[in-house]
Amino acid sequence: MDKFLVTGGQKLSGEVTISGSKNAALPILAATILAEGKNVIKSVPDLRDVTTMMQILRELGVKVTRQSNGDIETEVQDESKSTAPYELVKTMRASICVLGPLLAKRKTARVSLPGGCVIGVRPIDLHRKGLTALGAELAEEHGYIVGKAAKLTGREIFLGGAFGSSVTGTTNILMAATLAEGQTIIENAACEPEVQDLANFLAKMGAKINGIGTHRLIIDGVKSLKGTTHTVIPDRIEAGTFIMASAITGSQITIKNCRLEHLSGVIDKTKEVGVSIVKTGEHTCQIYRTQDLKPVDISTLPYPGFPTDMQAQLMAVLSLANGISVVTEKIYPDRFMHVAELNRLGAHIRKEGPYAIISGVKKLSGAPVMASDLRASAALVLAGLAAEGTTEIQRVYHIDRGYEQIEKKLKKLGADIKRVKDV
């Protein structure tokens, strides 16, 4: 198992290039199950979760190869397979994204139920509700969701649960609806950029989708979809994490391959904290801070609000702000695993239900800490960049799930960070 050693206090400078979006690439790869012929997917980050999805596709009879230029090529070779096994699904919840495409294209699916998750309860009732409405018969057997869909028929579906819509739920229903007979309307669809990217990919494959980017997706089913070429959007959460790296270290950096229009909720709050973000090119921006960090109150919300996937990283920054901040987690009320670890570094954060109250401190001090999930790990790296002394972050396999070579990118910016084998 690897760990990171981060010695804080270095100013960052220079440029960082953002990779393709993990959460866009995963459903796009799953969608290739729907296609006749070859797909070429560009800008797919080289991450553990992507490797897991590639393995799942291979289990499902899809030939998947990573070319020397980084492109991923896929082509369905054997449609008789329909099982996504527990051994793979347990490591990545996004595996559930193969359910919709399997039902639509192969009329049958057997996908392991994902199981526990450190960021809180993550049900799949909305996925089931939508797919059932289209005509799939779903049952749970021996830890698997087993589905049959002799015929899928377009319907009007309201995708609402206790916490609003669902990102991967929307993608599953959208993918299934592309091959259903007639028209499907998904009301209250999630409209995250990753959902939009999937919809654009499906449209290139020949799907008929209206309302992309809105909460109302209208899909007119077609008989078949064909392989295509697509470039995945830049990862807005990776870009946001580098914005926070600039904020916490008070450094000026340039971020390339970044779609600022996907980051409006993050930019709004980061400016309040005292950080300047200046667009310098079509997909390039400059980040700098010339004043003390100011406290802010935020709530995580569906897009375009402040994303839950940036909550931990902002909290690391706020732990050094000049005053008290309140963070309300509205998507995953238990997503606060990083609080205890940030406190080990000297932060003053109190968790009260879905709220965290952060009393800014003057300095953090390096210590051994444990990464618990992807974004919590990123928050610990950020805190380490600003802490006095060395922060040892164990279990960095969590961060490898979603950040492509984060230590190399930070090192290039001047950070003192090393990956070492934990013996």
Contact between 198 and ligand EPZ by CB under 6 A: the answer reads no
Region near ligand EPZ per CB under 6 A, out of 76-84, 116-124, 142-150, 282-290: 116-124
Residue 136 per-residue DSSP state: -
**Which residues neighbour 173 within 8 Å (Cβ) at sequence distance 6 or greater?**
100, 127, 130, 131, 134, 157, 159, 184, 186
Per-residue string for binding with ligand EPZ, 290-329, x by CB under 6 A? Answer: -----------------xxx--------------------
Q: How far is the CB of 302 from ligand EPZ (least distance, A)?
A: 7
Span 272-291, contacts to ligand EPZ by CB under 6 A: none
Q: Which is nearer to ligand EPZ, 251 or 311 (CB)?
A: 311
Sign of CA dihedral 372, 376, 377, 380: negative
258 counts as catalytic? no
Residue 80 per-residue DSSP state: T
By CB under 6 A, name the one of 56, 126, 157, 273 that touches ligand EPZ: 126
88: number of Cβ within 10 Å: 17
**Which residues neighbour 187 within 8 Å (Cβ) at sequence distance 6 or greater?**
156, 157, 158, 159, 215, 216
Nearest-angstrom CA–CA distance, 275 and 245: 11
Nearest to 173 by CA among 227, 225, 97: 97
Q: Which is nearer to ligand EPZ, 133 or 387 (CB)?
A: 133
Contact between 200 and ligand EPZ by CB under 6 A: the answer reads no
Q: How far is the CB of 294 from ligand EPZ (least distance, A)?
A: 26
Residue 231 phi/psi, 5-degree rounding, is: -110, 125
Beta bridge partners of 16: 255
Region near ligand EPZ per CB under 6 A, out of 70-78, 80-88, 124-132, 310-318: 124-132
Q: How far is the CB of 359 from ligand EPZ (least distance, A)?
A: 26
Contact between 337 and ligand EPZ by CB under 6 A: the answer reads no
Contact between 374 and ligand EPZ by CB under 6 A: the answer reads yes
**Which residues neighbour 37 within 8 Å (Cβ) at sequence distance 6 or greater?**
75, 226, 227
Contact between 402 and ligand EPZ by CB under 6 A: the answer reads yes
Q: How far is the CB of 52 from ligand EPZ (least distance, A)?
A: 11
Q: Which is nearer to ligand EPZ, 167 or 314 (CB)?
A: 167
Residue 308 per-residue DSSP state: G
Nearest-angstrom CA–CA distance, 232 and 249: 30
Q: How far is the CB of 309 from ligand EPZ (least distance, A)?
A: 5
Contact between 154 and ligand EPZ by CB under 6 A: the answer reads no
Burial 264-274 (b: 16+ CB within 10 A, else e): ebbbebbeebb
Per-residue string for binding with ligand EPZ, 91-110, x by CB under 6 A? Answer: --xx----------------
Nearest-angstrom CA–CA distance, 157 and 133: 7
Strand segments (E) across 246-329: 252-256, 275-281, 284-289, 297-299, 324-328
Q: Which is nearer to ligand EPZ, 93 or 289 (CB)?
A: 93
Burial class (CB in 10 A: 0-12, 13-18, 19+), 206: middle
By CB under 6 A, name the one of 36, 87, 125, 422 that touches ligand EPZ: 125
Q: How far is the CB of 172 from ligand EPZ (least distance, A)?
A: 9
By CB under 6 A, name the one of 8, 60, 194, 198 that touches ligand EPZ: 194
Total of residues contacting ligand EPZ (CB under 6 A): 28
Q: How far is the CB of 128 from ligand EPZ (least distance, A)?
A: 7
Chain CA centroid to CA 199, Å: 16
Catalytic residue among 97, 117, 191, 258: 117
Contact between 124 and ligand EPZ by CB under 6 A: the answer reads yes
362: number of Cβ within 10 Å: 7
Contact between 163 and ligand EPZ by CB under 6 A: the answer reads yes
Catalytic residues: 117
Question: Which residues bind to ligand EPZ, rule: CB under 6 A?
Answer: 23, 26, 93-94, 121-127, 161-163, 166-169, 190, 194, 307-309, 331-332, 374-375, 402
